[in-house]
Structure 1
Amino acid sequence: MCVTVDVKGEGTYEIDLATDGDSSPTYTDLLHEVDLSPHEVSVLVDGRPVPEDQPVDADHVTVLRLIKGG
């Protein structure tokens, strides 16, 4: 499954997520692919937030950083 991840203000990534037998990759797995923690971002699908533990079912997601800098 190929997913486009748009990290607002940082760039766009094309991620190829492999399904592993019985389990489907989650949005947390997707975030790890772009080196982000689910604790510092919100994942949006069609402009609506999705739980990070939900299986990925979209081919385009938007990621908003909640914490930046320090």
Structure 2
Amino acid sequence: MRVTVDVKGEGTHEFALEDVPTNSDGAVDSKPTYADLLAEVDLSPHEVSVLVDGRPVPEDQPVDTEHITVLRLIKGG
């Protein structure tokens, strides 16, 4: 499955979900989580909210959608 990660105000990234590395202690059938996708775009779960269909989702849940929106909560300047 292909997943589009829309980081609001910063761009859009596309990933093949099966190519995203996981942090799941080597479990064979583990699916990437939203936190794994955030790592692919160099963002920390502590600085963003992940939204699916406009609703926040926990970063430790497996990805089960083709489009996510990421909102930065903190931005230096």
Give your verdict on TM over 0.5: yes
Please, which moves more after superposition, 15-24 or 37-46?
15-24
Q: Residue 46 of structure 2 corresponds to which residue in structure 1?
A: 39
State the structure with more CA Rg.
2
CA distance in 1, matches of 2:32, 2:72: 21
* Cα offset, 1:21, TM superposition: 3.2
Find 1:25's aligned residue among 32, 36, 44. Answer: 32
| CA distance in structure 2 between the partners assigned to 1:38 and 1:17 by the alignment | 18
Paired residues in the alignment total 70
Rounded Cα–Cα distance in structure 2 between residues aligned with 1:27 and 1:15: 12
Match of 1:12 in 2: 12
For structure 2, which runs of at least 5 residues remain unmatched after alignment? 20-26
**Runs ≥4 residues deviating over 4 A:** none
Secondary structure at 2:37's aligned position in 1?
Answer: helix
CA distance, structure 2, for counterparts of residue 34 and residue 16 of structure 1: 14
Q: Write the deviation string for residues 11-44 of structure 1: whole angstroms up to 9, x where unpaired.
A: 0010122277311110000100111000000000
TM-score normalised over the length of structure 2: 0.84
RMSD: 1.5
